[in-house]
Chain A
Amino acid sequence: GAVVSQHPSWVICKSGTSVKIECRSLDFQATTMFWYRQFPKQSLMLMATSNEGSKATYEQGVEKDKFLINHASLTLSTLTVTSAHPEDSSFYICSAPPRASGTPGELFFGEGSRLTVL
């Protein structure tokens, strides 16, 4: 079964509104979670690294004020797309390393959340 769960799996919103996507680790604690964005027929692009108890680390070119990340607990990270516009429409995926991973880079992934902004 899934060990990282995202919600919602898909969402449609009007331009200018904000949307929150949740990422939960199930049965394990995640001090770090990674948020990716995937465009059609393109690779997963890392947006930011979410750190429990501290500020997220954003990749170059990602707007911090637009994509708010909060890692409120050891099992929950949220991504809020603020004032969404059609160009924000995409597939957002979160992932987390197992706490006692044997291999760095071995991650558990959520099912993804498809955002469509009208």
Chain B
Amino acid sequence: GNSVTQMEGPVTLSEEAFLTINCTYTATGYPSLFWYVQYPGEGLQLLLKATKADDKGSNKGFEATYRKETTSFHLEKGSVQVSDSAVYFCALHTGRRALTFGSGTRLQVQP
């Protein structure tokens, strides 16, 4: 079956630090990969996506590259801000099923 594994949090960083949140997956077929973000008090929202191998998704300074050989989709940002504090979910989608999520990683950015 499909599964997503992401690093446990919380991840605590100082402002302007480099961020990496690891995500690996197991899936049948060729999944699309997503990062969703949940800000405090809000619903999940799509951060970025990649639909095939070697695609790079990017948004708001965040990037993630679909690596088929390592079955990974690590999230990176070069310089985090306090406003990036949130919970980040890696997810995959295959066929007509709903998304399969990782457990989420809480990011706390300190000024």
- Could you tell me which A residues sit within 8 Å of B by CB distance? 2, 4, 6, 34, 36, 41-44, 46, 49, 93, 95, 103-112
Contacts and interface: CB of A to CB of B under 8 A. Distances in A.
B29 interface: no
Interface stretch (B58-66, B71-79, B88-96): B88-96
B46 A106 contact: yes
B104 A104 contact: no
B34 interface: yes
B98 A34 contact: yes
Contacts of B42: 111
B12 interface: no
Interface residues of B, number: 24
Contacts of B41: 111
B34 A106 contact: yes
B99 interface: yes
B98 A93 contact: no
Interface in B31-71: 32, 34, 36, 41-46, 49, 51
Contacts of A111: 41-43
Contacts of A6: 43
Interface in B84-109: 89, 91-93, 96, 98-104
